């Protein structure tokens, strides 16, 4: 404050009480909070009301000082007229502020009233302090008999106001702390419910998995029984034959590819330069990439037409090659081998189909169903186990969060009471 009242003398701190220890359940906390909050509220309100009552006489004194000062001429006739003007103006400002802004304090019956009291006192002290600060020389030199009383009154008022502010701050802090604790309790309840929910799901999954284990074991037993049969051994032997026969395809493909590689250059050039129909273009494209796939009786005439057209292009020079005669001979050679190639391809497909049909006939329909069921149930079991792990991870997370929240509540309760509470969570 600018008018010169000093700081309140620091009070000696009372000896710290030895805290008592008490074990409580989480359900006890809301009532403890409510009781302590009510007690704090009552005590704070009583102290604020007492401070208000101690301050009200000082307000009345300020008003009286204003009235007396207004009638006091301060003996301005004895001073320089220019200085007198300053003194009169200063005196008028002080009186105007006291008359206008220094008012009786409201009665206190609630914390809303206390807040209004705080704002009013703050306004009075600020406005009176400001005007006295601006007119400090006028008061201290020409109104000495008022200065001491004003200073003393305002010091006490300021100290009382600081106490009121602290009490309001403590009340709001208590209120906020209470809300935080209740919010933490609510979080613990939600986490506990979440834990029960996840535990129930894990239990349900465990039962489901137990059923799956039995089903998988039964399926595997049935599969093993079928696989131990004579028919299944025949199936395995025939499958081995079919797998080995598949190698025959590679041998035929290599022979065909070797032959068509000899004429691949003119075939490729003819592919880009020709104007064939869609079917012939597809055949030509396959001849340059995978001739095995198109060497059939159905395509043989089209292949011969393509080869003859390539020959014409080579002989006419529209398809350039290093050795025309050699290339023409290789085309002829390829045409002569067409029957052999198509027969080998057809024979391979026929034999492969026969073996495949025979193999499918030996493969038990029941075995296929059982194996499909085994895959389905095994996948279901893996997914269930993964869900169980996820739920257990969530439970572990809850189990780590709840003790942290409980510890926070215990620490906050220490700010409420000298009793050291230990919360027991079931």
3-state helix/strand/coil string of 360-399: HHHCCHHHHHHHHHHHHHHHHHHHHHHHHHHHHHHHHHHH
**227: pLDDT confidence band, cut at 50, 70 and 90?**
confident
Tens of pLDDT along 396-408?
999 999 999 999 9
3-class secondary-structure state, position 189: helix
Helix or strand run (H / E) with residue 295? none
Lowest pLDDT segment from 180-194, 287-301, 399-413: 287-301
Provide the sign of the torsion angle of the four alpha carbons 344, 345, 349, 352, taken in this order. Answer: positive
**101: pLDDT confidence band, cut at 50, 70 and 90?**
confident
Triad 375, 381, 387: Cα angle to 5° = 140
Q: How far is CA 162 from the centre of its chain?
A: 44
With 90 as the cut, is the pLDDT of residue 378 above it?
A: yes
Tens of pLDDT along 303-334?
898 888 888 888 888 888 888 889 889 989 99
CA distance 50 to 48: 5
**115: pLDDT confidence band, cut at 50, 70 and 90?**
very high
With 90 as the cut, is the pLDDT of residue 19 above it?
A: no
Instruction: Give the count of beta carbons closer than 10 Å to the beta carbon of residue 320.
Output: 11
**Greater confidence, 19 or 211?**
211
Q: What is the pLDDT of residue 4?
A: 45
Q: What is the pLDDT of residue 360?
A: 78
Give the gyration radius of the chain's Cα atoms: 52
Residues contacting residue 281 through CB under 8 Å, at least 6 positions apart? 271, 274
| 380 to 383, 385, 407: CA distances (angstroms) | 5, 9, 41
Task: For residues 158-167, give the mean pLDDT.
Answer: 93
Say if residues 379 and 209 touch (Cβ distance below 8 Å): no
Q: What is the pLDDT of residue 9?
A: 44
With 60 as the cut, is the pLDDT of residue 11 above it?
A: no
211-219 contacts at long range (C-beta below 8 A, 24 or more positions apart): 212/377, 212/380, 212/381, 212/384, 213/381, 215/377, 216/374, 216/377, 216/378, 216/381, 219/370, 219/373, 219/374, 219/377
Say if residues 306 and 331 touch (Cβ distance below 8 Å): no
| 323 to 129, 263, 327: CA distances (angstroms) | 118, 12, 6
Provide the sign of the torsion angle of the four alpha carbons 418, 419, 422, 425, taken in this order. Answer: negative
Q: What is the pLDDT of residue 406?
A: 94
Residue 144 buriedness (CB in 10 A; 0-12 / 13-18 / 19+): exposed
Average per-residue pLDDT for the chain: 85
Say if residues 242 and 356 touch (Cβ distance below 8 Å): yes
3-class secondary-structure state, position 212: helix
Tell me whether strands 420-424 and 21-25 are parallel, antiparallel or unpaired.
parallel
Q: What is the pLDDT of residue 18?
A: 54
With 60 as the cut, is the pLDDT of residue 23 above it?
A: yes
Task: For residues 188-217, give the mean pLDDT.
Answer: 95
Lowest pLDDT segment from 19-28, 143-152, 246-255: 143-152
Q: What is the pLDDT of residue 78?
A: 61
Q: What is the pLDDT of residue 405?
A: 95
Q: What is the DSSP letter of 57?
A: H
Nearest partner of 146 among 158, 132, 159, judged by Cα: 132
**Greater confidence, 11 or 223?**
223
CA distance 34 to 20: 20
Q: What is the pLDDT of residue 220?
A: 94
Q: How far is CA 143 from the centre of its chain?
A: 69
């Amino acid at each position: 404050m600018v008018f010169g009242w000093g700081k309140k003398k620091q009070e000696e701190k009372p000896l710290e009480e030895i805290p008592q220890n008490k074990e409580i359940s989480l359900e006890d906390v809301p009532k403890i909070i409510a009781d302590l909050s009510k007690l704090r509220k009552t005590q704070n309100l009583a102290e604020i009301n007492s401070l208000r009552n101690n301050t009200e006489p000082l307000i009345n004194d300020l008003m009286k000082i204003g009235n007396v000062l207004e009638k006091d001429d301060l003996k301005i006739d004895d001073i320089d007229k220019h200085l007198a003007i300053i003194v009169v103006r200063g005196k008028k400002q002080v009186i105007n502020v006291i008359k206008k802004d220094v008012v009786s304090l409201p009665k206190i019956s609630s914390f809303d009233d206390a807040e209004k009291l705080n704002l009013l006192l703050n306004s009075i002290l600020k406005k009176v302090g400001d005007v006295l600060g601006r007119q400090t020389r006028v008061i201290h030199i020409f109104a000495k008999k008022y200065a001491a009383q004003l200073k003393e009154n305002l010091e006490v008022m300021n100290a009382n106001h600081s106490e009121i502010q602290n009490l309001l701050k403590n009340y709001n802090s208590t209120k906020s702390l209470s809300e935080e604790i209740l919010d933490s309790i609510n979080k613990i309840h939600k986490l506990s419910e979440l834990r029960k929910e996840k535990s129930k799901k894990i239990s349900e999954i465990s039962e489901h998995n137990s059923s799956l284990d039995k089903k998988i074991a039964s399926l595997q037993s049935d599969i093993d029984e079928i696989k131990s049969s004579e028919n299944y051994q025949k199936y395995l032997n025939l499958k081995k034959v079919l797998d080995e026969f598949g190698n025959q395809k590679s041998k035929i493909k290599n022979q065909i590819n070797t032959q068509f590689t000899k004429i691949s250059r003119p075939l490729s050039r003819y592919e880009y330069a020709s104007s064939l129909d869609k079917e012939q273009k597809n055949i030509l494209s396959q001849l340059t990439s995978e001739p095995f796939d198109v060497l059939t009786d159905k395509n043989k005439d089209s292949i011969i037409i393509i080869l003859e057209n390539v020959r014409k292009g080579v002989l006419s020079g529209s398809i350039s090659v290093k050795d025309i005669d050699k290339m023409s001979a290789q085309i002829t050679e390829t045409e002569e081998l067409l029957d052999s190639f198509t027969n080998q391809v057809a024979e391979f497909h026929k034999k492969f189909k026969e073996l495949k049909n025979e193999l499918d006939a030996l493969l038990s329909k029941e075995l296929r169903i059982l194996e499909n069921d085994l895959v389905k149930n095994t996948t279901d079991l893996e997914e269930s186990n993964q869900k169980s792990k996820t739920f257990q991870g969530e439970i572990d997370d809850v189990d780590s969060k709840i003790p942290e929240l409980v510890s926070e509540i215990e620490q906050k309760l220490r700010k409420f009471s000298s009793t050291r509470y230990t919360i027991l969570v079931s």
